[in-house]
Amino acid sequence: MASDPRTPDNVPAREESGHEEPTKPGASGTSSRGTVPGASGGAVVPKGKAGKEKGRAGKEEPKRPEPADRDVEEKPRITRAGMIWTATVAGLILLVLLIIFIAQNQDQVTLRYFALEGRVNLGLALFIAAVGGGLLTAIAGAARIIQLRAVAHKDRKRKRNQTR
């Protein structure tokens, strides 16, 4: 009896999307499964189901864990109230550090600005400079946000007019 060249032993293994072919035939050289004639790569399916279940022979779907089976704790949700609370705590810590900075820098310095001249504590002068820089940055950022919103508003208006 001549050996069929398309038996699972002689067919080169091909990787198909998520499909593994069995490589062991039965004891007599034939298994309880047959090959589907004309199927690419000799796809193995159970006898009697040729063409009905392509590539799903002998596969079980993995079980999904039930909610009660989960041992992993879920992360707590991040909420706006939590973010506000965190920002408040960070702000208070920064304020305490700033008060310590001003208290340690009590040396008097002379500040000159054009024709104005005055004596101020060093810590207070640096604090005023930092607040002034922050205000300038905030003004520049607000101007850019207003500009971007105006462009977005014009785009929405133009798209509405085009769809009519």
Burial 49-82, CB ≥16 within 10 A → b, else e: ebeeeeeebeeeeeeeeeeeeeeeeeeeeeeeee
Give CA separation, 148 vs 63, 80, 135, in Å: 50, 25, 20
Report the pLDDT value the prediction gives residue 75, as an integer from 0 to 100.
81
Instruction: Judge residue 132's burial from the number of C-beta atoms within 10 Å of its C-beta, 0-12 exposed, 13-18 middle, 19 or more buried.
Output: exposed
- Contact between 128 and 109 (Cβ < 8 Å): no
Report the pLDDT value the prediction gives residue 113, as an integer from 0 to 100.
86
| Full pLDDT tens readout for the chain, 164 residues | 555 555 555 555 555 555 555 555 554 544 445 555 555 555 555 555 555 555 555 567 667 666 555 556 778 888 989 999 999 999 999 999 988 988 898 899 998 989 999 999 998 898 889 999 999 999 999 999 999 999 999 999 999 988 87
- The CB-side HSE value for 20 (13 A sphere, CA atoms) comes to 6
Residue 44 CB coordination number (10 Å): 21
Q: Report how far residue 12's alpha carbon sits from residue 104's, in angstroms, rounded to the nearest whole number.
A: 80
User: 44-46 and 108-113 as β-strands: parallel, antiparallel, unpaired?
Assistant: unpaired
Q: Which residues pair with 19 in a beta bridge?
A: 16
Q: Report how far residue 11's alpha carbon sits from residue 21's, in angstroms, rounded to the nearest whole number.
A: 10
